[in-house]
Amino acid sequence: MSLKQRVSSYDILAISIGIVYLWFGALKFFPGISPAEDLAKDTISALTFHLIPASVSIILLAIWETMVGVLLIFNLFRRQTILFALIHMVCTFTPLFLFPDLVFNKFPFQLTFVGQYIFKNLIIIAALLSLRSRLTR
């Protein structure tokens, strides 16, 4: 079987999402490198009622994201990995409600850079749902 026959567009999509997850997750292992670090720490802190220290939460998030990335890239546990990624993606939208002043310059249409960073996740969600639907056929 040739490489062209073995690698489908779904595989390329999964690998692409995996690279993004791996990259963004790996940045979080190094303090001050990820542009989403403060937002992630603040969001997790609010969601956990400040029970998880920020220094721990960012490492847990880094592990979560890098693992999703590796598993998608290497096509391991695809069904479970997509579920974990979708859970993560839903959580990325919580700043819309927790910190609307960080997301909108003028509600509801003028997004800040943070807002744009969050809304681009709609594309990742759609891609994950596409991958998921392929698995259920």
Domain boundaries, the chain: 8-135
- Tokens for 55, please give them: 């220094």
CB 24 within 8 A of CB 124: no
- Tokens for 6, please give them: 């073995």
* Interatomic CA distance for residues 30 and 58, integer angstroms: 10
Q: What is the pTM of this model?
A: 0.91
**What pLDDT digit, counting tens, does each position of 31-72 carry?**
999 999 999 999 999 999 999 999 999 999 999 999 999 999
Helices (H) and strands (E) counted in the chain, each on its own, are 9, 2
Residues 6+ apart with CB under 8 A from 132: 79, 82, 86
